[in-house]
Structure 1
Amino acid sequence: MGHLTAAKVKAAGPGKYHDGQGLHLRVTNTGSKSWFLRLTVDGRRRDMGLGGWPEVSLVDARRKALEHRTAAADGRDPVADNRRGEAPVFREAAKAVLEANRPRWRGERQASLWWRSLENHAFPVIGDMRVDRITQSDVLGALTPIWTTRPETARKVRQRIRAVLRWAMAHGYVVFNVAGEVIDGALPPMPKVQSHFRSLPYFEVADALAVVDQTKASPSAKLCLRFLVLNAARSGEARNATWDEIEFGACEWRIPAERMKAASEHRVPLSEAAMAVLDQAKDHHDGSDLVFPSPLKPGHPLSNMTLTKILRDVGLADRATVHGFRASFRTWALEETDTPWAVCEAALAHSLGDSVQQAYIRGDAFAKRRKLMDRWAQYLEQRQG
């Protein structure tokens, strides 16, 4: 028999009251009353809530306490069991993972792609299921339709499902990850196919730029593409370039770490041709700090599809991508110059060697890269002339 009675519970003032066998009543200074059970699981003291009074009466609290003590005696963890009873649906868990990762991702686009892949391939199957009720079959139901037809997408979707369920494990909602190795046997091995960005032979790049100059694309877009090619830059680096990143006296472009793939500042030596592009870009200044602003949305950078559309309009999209011009430059440097490998890689803002080698490579070969980029600009000018 417990120490409490229904009358004592009703009259109890602020404090904590022990009924026996780990059952307690807690009364706050405001008069709110709630039940909790203190028990030992795997050698650790655990407290679990049983609900508030009067919704949960003394009789109900004792019944619940007995059930949980019995579960603990059988080797189960009633606290974890109770936690899983509050498990969110997969879509809600995915939202929590998205928000947790957003600060470390580069820009909203990465977050958007992460969410969209789940929205397209996972949510239709498991989006409205509680995470603790998702089975291996459910995960396979989402992955199997795209596993062989869209392997790269399928691989990313699986990684993201695993990440969400790993979050659910960490919060005690699930015991193990049903998207982990346990389903490997039901999925055929993916072929290791290495794909490369389409790129023009380097000796065709100058002619391609000449053709682009004749298009009806906006001056800002055409100048951005030429600037990108001259500097072997990535699309986002060029499209989001701002005037305060340009040091005209030093003929240098400093791209901040937050806009670089390797998350470290990258200095770009600007050739005379690149500086000439910047002089022309000044004529299309829209009042913002962007070097190549969108003509459709003043104050906003060119969209990621703008440069691709130029290639499509001139009939080059089936042979080259915007990113592929970096490969054209790299092939030219290999075939037409004797520039050391490390200098060429530094020009592309690639990490040099493994972590040990990087610890000893402190310079960025800037002077050597300036000579290389000057030669690249001269090569394009001669081919175009």
Structure 2
Amino acid sequence: MSDPDESNIDVVRWATRELARKFDYGYWREKDKLGEYPWEFVRAFAQGGWLGALIPEEYGGLGLRLAECGVMMQEIAASGAGASGASAIHFYLFPPAPIIRYGSEEMKQEFLPKLARGEILMAFGVTEPTAGVDTSRITTKAEKVDGGWVVNGQKVWITNAQNAHKILLLARTSVRNEEKPLDGMTLFFTDLDRDRITVREIEKLGRSAVDSNELFIDDLEVRDDEVVGEVGQGFRYLIDGLNSERIVVGLEGVGLGQAALELATKYANERVVFDRPIGQNQAVAHPLADSWIRLESARLMAMHAAKLYDDHENCGKEAAAAKYLGAEAGFDACDRAMSTHGGYAYAKDYHVERLWREARLLRNAPFSQEMVLNYVSTQALRLPRAY
């Protein structure tokens, strides 16, 4: 990167670090305990203009590159906000990407400024309970009618649906073709109409401040002008944005691990057993040092991938590797922080258990570590495809 680019990254890093750390561990513990959406945190980032970080300036955003946005998300997670804070901002940045790239000019003019200001919240409706990671097998169907479409089906693990005003919804608009299974799916950006969509929250292990939900869609009416891009090309629009999300998820994992490592090193310096701080013992010090190395390596891979992405170069393997390393290093650091705290790791006053619960998610989502290895084995090593 050139010096001006590095300067921009530093500005974003310090500004978002300062803002995120105004919300302390007590704030996030309370949100996690009560399952309350962190609206105060979101509004603070909206006031700073950060919700529109990836939205072009002509639509009211900051028009930043992925590298700056990734650094912002890393700093949010590292502040102690963890996945709860990162997810609350993440879903303003990345679900709108297909609209930015493929939406009609009218759609962009109407909605992107509102998203940038935090005036509307959107959900991202892709995953289905019977399809798993094989998105080609979704069964939510949109049937053509005069002037629009009627959608029926089911979605699962949909973030923000308790509060969202709009939904970016993937549905089949033609029957699955075995020769081209990813064709025939269409993206719609429409109202999350609760008269036609039943939203049922899922009780889950971590990230309780940000809701996850099942959706049951019954005769949802969608207009023709709410189609994003071309009918039948929706999956390709999603794929176009997956590399950027994987890179940023990797950096969020790094941030989670950094938060846990900061708590663990503070405790290791202060906790005295047998007349010495426990951090003086190599059995404590070495795993923490190893986590620092792994986190820094994951961060560098993610920033390398972000540079490739921003330079419009092929970055599929690097993006996948960034997600893999960030998830592994982040969770390992949280797990080692748990070990460092011993029995106190289970006490919510020490906060590491929340980070540990949240970091575990990244090994499964937005796609699993095994699928990363499948992808890299075929794309980097040219081994036969296993899926």
**TM-score range with shorter-chain normalisation?**
under 0.3
Bigger relative CO (Cα 8 Å, ≥ 6 apart): 2
Task: Name the structure with the higher strand share.
Answer: 2
TM-score (norm 1): 0.23
TM-score, normalised to structure 2, is 0.23
